[in-house]
């Protein structure tokens, strides 16, 4: 997978998580996406700079230094575009995998597959 595709997938996952829960911490986002907290900070700042995410105060927190990451209308549109792209890629991967499985099954004697 190319670097731009990996970055696109990461942005898709982050925007999706933030749309569901804008008050996720950077640490929780990093863990969910599988990157370091430092990398997550860098990516979130890039998303803010691009106008896809805006910072808001974490309203229910005692520590007012925590932020909520709210998707902007531009961010919502970008998430939708990334969702379409991600889904098209995954469907193509699924079809290729399905065809490979079918071909492998034909190679087995009597099309027998051990289900254990």
Contact 54, 64 (CB under 8 A): no
Provide the pLDDT confidence category of residue 115 given band limits of 50, 70 and 90.
low
Task: For CA atoms 22, 17, 6, 79, give the dihedral sign.
Answer: negative
Q: Where are the domains of the chain?
A: 3-91
User: Is residue 66 over pLDDT 60?
Assistant: yes
Cα(73)–Cα(111) distance, integer angstroms: 52
pLDDT in tens, 7-58: 889 999 999 999 999 889 999 999 999 999 999 999 999 999 999 999 887 6
Which CATH number does 3-91 carry? 1.10.10.10
All residues at 6 or more sequence positions from 40 whose CB lies less than 8 Å from its CB, including other chains: 14, 26, 27, 29, 30, 33
d(CA 40, CA 30): 6
């Amino acid at each position: 997978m190319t670097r731009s595709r990996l970055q696109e997938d990461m942005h898709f996952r982050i925007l999706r998580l933030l749309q569901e829960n804008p008050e996720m911490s950077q640490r929780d986002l990093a863990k969910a996406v599988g990157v370091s907290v430092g990398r997550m900070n860098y990516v979130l700042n890039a998303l803010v700079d691009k106008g896809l995410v805006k910072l808001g105060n974490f309203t229910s927190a005692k520590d007012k230094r925590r932020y909520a990451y709210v998707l902007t209308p531009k961010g919502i549109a970008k998430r939708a575009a990334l969702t379409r792209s991600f889904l098209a890629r995954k469907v193509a991967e699924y079809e290729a995998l399905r065809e490979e499985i079918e071909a492998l099954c034909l190679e087995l004697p009597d099309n027998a597959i051990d289900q254990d």
